[in-house]
Structure 1
Amino acid sequence: MPDDGEPHAITVHLDRLLAERGMTLTELSEKVGVSVVNLSILKNGRAKAVRFSTLTALCAALGCQPGDLLGYRSPEAIGSVS
């Protein structure tokens, strides 16, 4: 497990999905019942966990699959990011 200060391998594509759907973070917040602050933390890759209920609500509101929202970067790719 990475330390708190270390980048993690899971990436979040919330900004891309919002842009593709012409939706704001505020609109998404209202649809899924999650605060704008918490969605912003998720969007900016600072979240440490996501509840399945939140993931379900996000996928329903955005009309996507979990794999559209989340991605994985190998540890080698993370280590090369400066």
Structure 2
Amino acid sequence: MSIIIRLDRVLSDRKMSLTELSSAVGITIANLSNLKTGKASAIRLSTMEAICKALDCQPGDLFEYQMDD
């Protein structure tokens, strides 16, 4: 089972940079970069809420489940 993170796609759709999101949400660029590249193993619900608010999206827009073969 794999969770694919689509933060880069949502950022692109919103024409927003990681730096702009970092400023809007109050999370370091390094932590957002770890999330974007799939290096983060967990995310707080308050962080997810802040990201969704800043990007005007739903959690399902940011994450996708893909079953392993």
Q: Same fold judged by TM-score > 0.5? A: yes
Cross-structure match for 1:45:
38
Cross-structure match for 2:60:
67
Other structure's SS at 1:75 match: coil
Deviations 1:28-76 (A, max 9, x none): 0000111000000000011100000000000000000000011111021
Q: Which amino acid aligns with 1:48?
A: S
2:3 aligned with 1:10: yes
Larger Rg computed on CA atoms: 1
Q: With structure 2 as the length reference, what TM-score do the two structures score?
A: 0.95
Could you list the runs of 5+ residues in structure 1 that have no partner in the other structure? 1-7, 77-82
Could you list the runs of 5+ residues in structure 2 that have no partner in the other structure? none
Percent of aligned pairs with the same amino acid: 52
Distance (whole Å) between structure 2 residues aligned to residue 34 and residue 58 of structure 1: 9
Q: Where in structure 1 do 4 or more consecutive aligned residues deviate above 2 Å? A: none
Paired residues, number: 69
